[in-house]
Homo-oligomer: A and B are copies of this chain.
């Protein structure tokens, strides 16, 4: 059992989640490599000190360059806003340090391309934070599809819908400015990543990206509220997606349906411990969608709990990510999804945005 010093940039929503995950992951998964919370970085020294104490880091700093270059910081977790991702990652790779970067990868496709390039040159472990695909249920869904349990896939539907900006009176903020903070920039990547994980590469898309509430108390809105998309996978399968931050009533609407020639799968993150599976087998009279509760026989569940149906939650997804990141570093192997995978998501986002302007189908390869 060896130790590795970790530095996290950001101590907010995700910075905290990663700190907690790193504290717990060793005991949960009995990892060979054990993380040491070495340094946390925030926008001010006060904040950094607050996070340091709250999460139990050894040191804090207001300068991410200090963190990245500190010799006791041996691996980096980027949990700061999209605009900061690229520079931090490039600096870390330049020093040969593994990087875990929160989604989306950078503020633009250009950013993510540069990050992939830097990662490749460095040959360091690089991983993107698509946590939802790591629930035991969604991992099992991937296995089922890959094993042919639903036959040949014929259709896909995915959505990532929330309602935190559904109220037109919700004020303007940083969230309502900048494409990287809009629905396509911020929410869509999770579900696009899921689509790729479940069905493979996407060849072409057509999309409508829209700002429904163009004015909010406090000022104008410069990014998108929701977007709908149709796509064609490399496999020839077609599908639909929808992304929204104004989907009144939806709290964590990361949901998908995958239909095959001999079965189908349905999942909704709002009930993340259940996967619905239909199999066209046995007598017609007893067929139907089976509500499978996750349990010890599903991927990464047993380490959290020996009892089936006892359930994992949001924080546990981040613990699973931490485990995979540590194991990748320990083994010196890539951990899915890599920066390359994250960049492919941004490519599709770019194609969709372009499509919404031209109103035509766009080849993803052109982006």
Q: Which residues of A (276-308) have their CB < 8 Å from a CB of B? A: 277-280, 283-293, 295, 297-298, 304-308
The answer, among B16, B151, B230, B292, for a CB contact under 8 Å with A287, is B292
Q: Which of A65-73, A309-317, A345-353 contacts B (4 or more CB under 8 A)?
A: A309-317
A226 CB to nearest B CB, Å: 7
| Interface residue tally for chain A (C-beta within 8 Å) | 97
- A355 CB to closest chain B CB (Å) equals 10
A168 to B310, CA, bound (A): 23
A13 within 8 A of B: yes
Contact yes or no, A285 B259, CB < 8 A:
no
B230 touches A248 (CB 8 A): no
Mask of A223-247 contacts with B, CB within 8 angstroms, 1/0:
0001010101000001110101011
Measured in the bound complex, the distance between the Cα atoms of B248 and A262 in whole Å is 7
A109 CB to nearest chain B CB (Å): 23
Q: Does A4 sit within 8 A of B, measured CB to CB?
A: no
Task: Please tell me if A54 contacts chain B, counting CB pairs below 8 Å.
Answer: yes
- Which of A266-274, A325-333, A335-343 forms part of the interface with chain B? A266-274
A183: min CB distance to chain B, Å = 12
Interface stretch, picked from A85-93, A119-127, A205-213, A214-222, is A205-213
Within 8 A of B (CB), among A1-42: 1, 13, 16-17, 19-20, 23-24, 26-28, 30, 34
List 5 extra interface pairs beyond A164-B307, A249-B264, CB under 8 A. Answer: A23-B27, A228-B240, A246-B261, A248-B260, A288-B291
